[in-house]
Chain A
């Protein structure tokens, strides 16, 4: 028996020592694990580079490519092509940044992200830039350690239904009584439609699916009466449906505002300026009608065009840390806003005329501050 107590005492004291050590070391967990962390991080991310201070711009120039977070399944905005590269409106804006910073529109590393990963990817520095149909909201801008650039596409949530079910362009939420509505799970879309119908006291059955493909599949086959998501995606789908004129998108005023644009890490105004002004450059070029095929004709022009193309000493661009001909390269290699818009979005039936994405002069919202 006495040996037993000795043993117990031994265990107890070991346990005490262990717990004491444990509580000491718990406070400096981060310091002790920092060493292995850096070694693990070396391989994968730019986290280390970021922490050294300075702007992401220098990091990108040194690396020689832009890490751009995109989507994988957003029709016409960013999809993965048969050869594994990304293509689409958002993907082209990644190329715009690469052309501006590195003079080479192909120097982009596309990183397809799921919607749950995307913000973490910006926060941890996995991507320099996020172009993934991300809506600019106050909470995202203020909370999550990231900043939003100028809106490249003004979108809004709408609904799509069949004309044969009695829907028309002037239908609204009140007409949804008794419908089965299909949406993507875990998106703001789901929350918006729930809120809107609850507010009006309309009874609906909401079916949520993991992927947008399943949503459209269900809608096309008629298992769902109505589907809802951002208007651009609806138009895209409708254009691809063989029987045009069978479906209708409503209400005319979207039930939510979804301004989509670039996202980049917070507190890096040098990098932020580069992105903002690269986007503005495409808009300004569009205002002057400068596109990739005729840009060389404008090289001799004075004034704002000269400042844009960098022929005017290019001091505006060099101050930002870019080459003098940065925006010339953007327009030459990728194009102006209209080029990018039309080549990607026209094929799926989205046109600028009359939409919110028309130039400000034509009553749209696409507008850039002056370059001087």
Chain B
């Protein structure tokens, strides 16, 4: 479905040569009024643009718009029914992500230098744009004056920047400084300007009161703290960057990025009510047992000279894992047995000297600890009381579904791509059938199928929350597209690489894991980023099957509240803008990073 429009097919365009700086008059003449036709086009487009902007602004700021429907419901939009008393958990999670972001910015040396001349230019253009928009918008007189003052401020900033640039051409500002400065000024306004004019009193008979005191107003303190957290993490990152080995720090940070959402959702936000007895006498011994025994077995199995016997042991463990389904047993044991079987089956690929073998065992240990903890956490009821299955809703649900879809679909996609390019016909057949089938049908039919039909395919008494079944369906769908992206990467790996790997005596699996896949994955990063953004956008389809995602909240929940009946258009506009901001900034950021790192090129 709105298949992820990767720009894969679009060839990378060489950056246009830097245009010589022209004085305004000549610039206008060259770019807008070079000849009669050009002048006509300029005038016509200007008229069209101005009237469109006029219409849009009239629509957005017309007197009949109930924008307080959005303002009062901002909590519903972001976290849905998460209890207010537990909001510290949300702030903590947010802070954790900000710490990671700050550290990453420092360690990957994010940000660029922006020359003041360019800053001045953008400040000027934003200022002029804002002034025109305000002039077009049907605001009250005081509103117009306020906004025109803001536009004037931007123009003034442009003027100052210009003066600085005039003094010294080379002077520049870090884009990070600019970002923090902008954020800081926005947050500073929270302390002075009462944004909302309505507040909500939740009661049996709820009320919306028209007096200041809104979410934005009451959260100025947390937001300020968040800003300091971000800045602090950045400076900590700089310190760490200079002290620690770069490569290892980066990979550890990547690991944190991957783990943190799961950690935050299942530990911080859900706050599972662990029963100490169960944890101490069942879970911990189980995990420890598997950790020790598994590590030993894997250490033994990765011995290069082992040969045949390794495979036999691996098959036996795997058989035991599958066989365990025939006898009543704890699910966690079955999962661990099968995982151990798969790990030992893959062991010969990772054989080598002692340190390699030790690393493989430690990977297993890490896996078992995280998996054990996660399974226990998932199976423990939450202490945070939220209505029903709807632990999350609004933007949080959108983000979480997108995250899990991506996390589940990438490995699956890699497997499918490998199967599709393998030389084993049945694998190829199965993978090709699956991929082509999934790519041939719209996402909505798959989502409806998984929400309506999946419960029928499950054994008696087993019930999956609708969100889970839909996420599974979405992940399967997405995996087919991921597989195609990766296949593109796999095919771009030259034949020489295959031959070289074979020449040094690598087995097929070693060749795939250590030589081919890393190159293929690197090649397919740009289309995958596009795919990820698309996945996020397409979560809006959850609206159709009635899950409380961002769109559902804006389209169906809020316009039905007694106080805000029929406030559809403003909520839709807000949702569109929110989606736009998220996906536009994501795609811009990824483009910049790709360009800097030189991804997708060989």
Contact = CB atoms under 8 A, between A and B. Distances in A.
A33 B206 contact: no
Contact of A33 (B202, B452, B462): B462
Given A41-B463, A44-B463, A47-B463, A112 B379 contact: no
B205 interface: yes
A220 to B, nearest CB: 7
A45 B465 CA distance: 10
B387 A84 contact: yes
A343 interface: yes
Nearest to B332: A39
A126 B388 contact: yes
A32 interface: yes
Nearest to A84: B81
Interface stretch (B521-529, B562-570, B584-592): B562-570
Nearest to B459: A33
Interface string A21-36: 0000100011011111
B463 A84 contact: no
A86 B330 CA distance: 38
Nearest to B571: A213
B409 interface: no
A290 to B, nearest CB: 18
A43 B380 contact: yes
A105 B204 CA distance: 10
B566 A80 contact: no
A79 B553 CA distance: 11
B463 A35 contact: no
Contacts of B206: 81-82, 85, 87
B75 A213 contact: no
B35 interface: no
B80 A84 contact: yes
Contact of A237 (B390, B546, B565): B565
Contacts of A45: 463
Interface string A125-142: 011000000000000000
A117 B331 CA distance: 28
Nearest to B73: A82
A40 B462 contact: yes
Nearest to B375: A39
A42 B386 CA distance: 17
B459 A348 contact: no
A86 B200 contact: no
A173 to B, nearest CB: 27
Contact of B562 (A34, A37, A43, A347): A347
Contact of B387 (A32, A75, A109): A109
Interface in A96-148: 105, 109-114, 116-117, 120, 124, 126-127
B387 A111 contact: yes
Interface stretch (B176-184, B321-329, B414-422): B321-329
B562 A76 contact: yes
Contacts of A30: 459-460
Contacts of B328: 34-35
Given A82-B75, A82-B200, A211 B555 contact: yes
Interface stretch (A66-74, A262-270, A304-312): A66-74
Contacts of A191: none
A210 interface: yes
A114 B546 contact: yes
Contact of B548 (A109, A112, A212, A213): A112
A73 B75 contact: no
B466 A117 contact: yes
A362 to B, nearest CB: 25
Contacts of B80: 84
A34 B462 CA distance: 8
A82 B72 contact: yes
Nearest to A85: B202
A37 B461 contact: yes
B200 A81 contact: yes
A113 B547 CA distance: 9
A110 B463 contact: no
A72 B557 contact: yes
Interface string A259-289: 0000000000000000000000000000000
A92 interface: yes
Given A39-B331, A74-B560, A217 B566 contact: yes
A37 B461 CA distance: 7
B352 interface: no
B380 A29 contact: no
B389 interface: yes
Contacts of A117: 466, 546
B559 to A, nearest CB: 5
A83 B568 contact: no
Contacts of A112: 387-388, 390, 548
Interface of B: 72-73, 75-76, 79-84, 200, 202, 204-206, 208, 325-326, 328-331, 334, 378-381, 385-390, 393, 452, 455, 459-466, 544-546, 548, 555-557, 559-562, 565-566, 568
12 contacts: A32-B325, A36-B334, A36-B462, A39-B331, A39-B379, A41-B461, A65-B385, A73-B556, A82-B202, A92-B204, A111-B390, A126-B389
Per CB-CB distance, the 7 closest pairs between chain A and chain B, nearest first, are A84-B81, A111-B388, A114-B546, A37-B462, A240-B565, A83-B202, A33-B459
Given A74-B560, A116-B452, 18 more contacts: A32-B325, A36-B331, A41-B462, A43-B380, A44-B463, A82-B208, A82-B561, A84-B386, A87-B204, A110-B387, A113-B388, A114-B545, A116-B546, A120-B455, A126-B388, A213-B559, A237-B565, A343-B205
Interface of A: 25, 29-30, 32-45, 47, 51, 65, 67, 72-76, 79-87, 92, 95, 105, 109-114, 116-117, 120, 124, 126-127, 210-213, 216-217, 220, 237, 240, 334, 343-344, 347-348
